[in-house]
Amino acid sequence: MERTSLQPSRFTQYIRTYSNQRLEWLAIDSFKDALHSLSAGLPPNEEYIVALLSAGTEQMPELLSAADRMRRREVGEAVHLRAIIEFSNFCRKNCLYCGLRRDNRSLPRYRLTEQQILDAAGEAAVLGFRTVVLQSGEDPYYRPADIARVVEKIKSSCDLAVTLSLGEHSRQTYKIWREAGADRYLLKQETADERLFKYLKPDTSLSKRVQCLCWLKELGYQTGSGNMVGLPGQSLHTLAQDIMLMQELDVDMAGIGPFLPHPATPLKDAAPGGLELTLKTLALTRICLPQAHLPATTALCTLTTDGRRMALSGGANVIMPNLTPPAVRSKYLIYPQKADISEKPAVALAEITALLAEMGRPLASGPGHATKTNRKSFFTDDKSDK
Ligand code: 5AD
Ligand code: SF4
């Protein structure tokens, strides 16, 4: 039979099949090489992280169980709970992805009074939490001294570690809060790509963000960062750089969640971050930052109902239930359908207890401070519930 140019000869077909297989073998080899060298604690290498982020669905179990083993070995089985209190949804910034951005006029704004914040923290303590996270948009209404007073009152009345998550401020302001007794600070880098950062966060810059993180570390805060997965314009290399930046900053905590488009923002038509890529990024963060505290983020639980279990099986060791008063909770809408909007603290705790029992993971009894062994003298490291 006469061959047309569209029908390859048996020989070319053989070459093609062979080279496809060879490429597959190469991909499998580079996956295994990368996983072994990162798990062995060799310095993270962008190409290795990208090779693992490109892992196919069939390679996911191997990657997630490597992260799970690392989590067990480095920070133990216990899961730490942090009660989050979102006390104001006013924000002076205009981040393109966030529902709290100042140009979002459709969002009803609220602020809790000092007493309401203290009551919510008191409720957290009564429910057995050992950490409260005070979070808000960047709201200049509260002066540094107001926040300091709240921190002091919580520290003197409850046995709680206090984490602040209030955005970018001066070194002096961070110092005031630290001196008032704040233990930790969360300030996500969001993305390690300088240009993407500037586009998404036009009021600031990546270098300013990193400067803030360095100040926080100098001041002795246990410092957390994190990033979103699936941002428009983000590549696997960006995600690798995110992990490497957190490694370089030697952060104590890292929140990794999918980007979720909010209808009242300029990114309303962008695609959400993917589940697999978020889980891979979380797993790699565990492998590259073995002792960090990694939460099962609310954004991941919003993307999929089983997000908490998936995250806890792939590197995470922290859950952050919402203790914001129910009357305002639905207004802290950084992205739509936020998973914890209608969650009642007691019900959420019962669900978490049941999930952890099923997974054979105990609840931590201590405050869950940073676990790093090389920490400077600022804190009493509690490793009793490691
Ligand atoms: N999708 C996912 N996470 C978001 N955040 C803000 N907007 C979004 C969004 N659209 C996260 C950011 C920020 C925190 C307040 O919420 O990581 O740090
Ligand atoms: Fe404000 Fe933070 Fe939202 Fe940016 S991400 S608009 S700083 S609350």
Tens digits of per-residue pLDDT, 270-284? 999 999 999 999 999
pLDDT (0 to 100) of residue 7:
58
Per DSSP, what are the bridge partners of residue 83?
Answer: 132
CA distances in angstroms from 162 to 181, 186, 267, listed in the order given: 8, 11, 33
More confident residue, 67 or 8: 67
pLDDT digits (tens, 9 = 90+) for 366-383: 888 887 644 443 333 333
In the predicted structure, residue 345 carries a pLDDT above the cut 70: yes
Q: Residue 371 Cα, ligand 2 centroid: separation in angstroms?
A: 28
Q: What is the spatial distance between Cα 29 and Cα 260, in angstroms, rounded to a whole number? A: 34
DSSP helix/strand/coil, 13: helix
Counting beta carbons within 10 angstroms of the beta carbon of residue 243, is it exposed (0 to 12), middle (13 to 18) or buried (19 or more)? buried
With a CB cutoff of 8 Å and minimum separation 6, the contacts of 88 are 109, 110, 111, 112, 136, 137, 139, 141, 142
Q: Output the ligand 2 site: residues, CB below 6 A.
A: 91, 93, 95, 98, 100-101, 137-138, 167, 334
Give the pLDDT band of residue 5 (cuts 50, 70, 90). very low
Ligand 2: which of 90, 98, 209 to mutate, judged by most atoms within 8 Å of the beta carbon?
98
Ligand nearest to the CA of residue 226, numbered in listed order? 1
Work out the pLDDT band at 170, boundaries 50, 70, 90: very high
Structural domains of the chain sorted by starting position, each given as residue range(s) with its CATH number in brackets? 12-57 (no CATH), 73-368 (3.20.20.70)
Binding residues for [4Fe-4S] cluster: 91, 95, 98
Residue 17's pLDDT is what? 59
First to last CA, the chain: 72
